[in-house]
Amino acid sequence: MTFEEAVEYTRVPAGTFRKLSADGTFTAHGGKRKIYRRQELDAALLSLSGRTRP
């Protein structure tokens, strides 16, 4: 799915999604046009739900 579709699917604000993508939490595939896989997004969201804020 595209960036826009991934943001809508995860319900994560676009800016936060970009930051999480840049730090490797959300893995993007492809070259100029980034593609995100639903299964990988689901796994990343599950790992984020276990984190606590400092």
Angstrom distance (rounded) from CA 15 to CA 13: 6
Question: pLDDT for 1-19, tens place per residue?
Answer: 999 999 999 999 999 999 9
Q: Are 40 and 27 in contact (CB under 8 A)?
A: yes
Q: Are 20 and 11 in contact (CB under 8 A)?
A: no
Angstrom distance (rounded) from CA 23 to CA 41: 14
Tokens describing residue 36: 């995100």
Question: What pLDDT shows up at residue 38?
Answer: 96
Predicted TM-score (pTM) of the model is 0.83
Q: Are 38 and 9 in contact (CB under 8 A)?
A: yes
